[in-house]
């Protein structure tokens, strides 16, 4: 089973100072923090905040290439978590055919935001994420994220 998620923002892990993209389901019951790189966090934050860009960034270029090649992004899906690494897929359609591309979740999410595509997470990713070493302080982090005002998400500074 897969669950549709929304990006609620970008935050900095207070313990590691690493950027985290926060995904939540519609009910707010399921939350999935994914630690990502600084450049990907910047790209996602710029799209969340609708920051104007004079020239296309890498994810803007990808969106433009897909559009020019007549591909549409039907969805992105976080599919697995292995060896502390999240995996994702970008689902493309063209002429009735579906093409699936392996992707890092951060890139898939950045593309989804730019194309207005849905973001899905497989159930087993939630189960596996509970066992992640990086989640040692998950209770503290979850408590911090739950108490953080919504306006603070997305205010990510490089």
Q: What is the mean pLDDT of residues 10-30?
A: 91
pLDDT at 157: 42
Q: What is the mean pLDDT of residues 30-55?
A: 95
Half-sphere exposure of residue 17, counting CA atoms within 13 Å on the CB side?
Answer: 2
Q: List the chain domain ranges.
A: 2-152
pLDDT band at 133 (very low <50, low <70, confident <90, very high): low
Burial 69-83 (b: 16+ CB within 10 A, else e): eebebebbbbbebee
The number of C-alpha atoms within 13 Å of 97 and in the hemisphere containing its C-beta is 5
The mean pLDDT of the chain is: 88
What distance, in Å, lies between the first and last C-alpha atoms of the chain? 36
CATH code, 2-152: 3.10.690.10
Q: What average pLDDT does the segment 51-65 reach? A: 96
Report residue 26 CA to chain centroid gap: 15
Cα 44 to the center of its chain, rounded Å: 8
Q: Is the pLDDT of residue 73 over 90?
A: yes
Q: Which of 65-69, 70-74, 93-97, 137-141 has the lowest mean pLDDT?
A: 137-141
On whether the CB atoms of residues 8 and 113 are closer than 8 A, the answer is no
List residues bridging with 10 in a β-sheet: 21
The pLDDT-based confidence of 74 (bands split at 50, 70, 90) is: very high
Question: CA 113, CA 107: separation in Å to the nearest integer?
Answer: 10
Closest C-alpha to 122, from 76, 79, 65: 79
- Greater confidence (147 vs 61) lies with 61
pLDDT band at residue 85, thresholds of 50, 70 and 90? Answer: very high
Mean pLDDT of the region 15-27: 92
**73, β-bridge pairs:** 92
Is residue 13 over pLDDT 50?
A: yes
Q: Report the alpha-carbon distance of residue 70 to residue 81 in Å, rounded.
A: 31
Residue 154 has pLDDT above 50, yes or no: no
């Amino acid at each position: 089973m897969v669950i549709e998620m929304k990006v609620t923002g970008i935050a900095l892990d207070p313990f590691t100072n690493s950027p985290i993209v926060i995904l939540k389901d519609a009910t707010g019951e399921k939350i999935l923090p994914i630690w990502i790189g600084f450049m990907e966090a910047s790209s996602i934050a710029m799209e969340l905040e609708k920051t104007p860009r004079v020239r296309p960034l890498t994810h803007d270029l990808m969106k433009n290439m897909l559009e020019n090649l007549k591909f549409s992004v039907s969805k992105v899906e976080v599919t697995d978590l292995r060896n502390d690494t999240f995996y994702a897929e970008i689902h493309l359609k063209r002429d009735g055919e579906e093409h699936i591309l392996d992707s890092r979740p951060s890139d898939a999410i950045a593309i989804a935001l730019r194309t207005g595509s849905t973001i899905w997470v497989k159930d087993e990713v939630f189960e596996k994420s509970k066992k992640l070493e990086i989640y040692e302080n998950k209770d503290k982090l979850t408590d911090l994220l739950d108490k953080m005002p919504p306006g603070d998400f997305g205010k990510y500074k490089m």
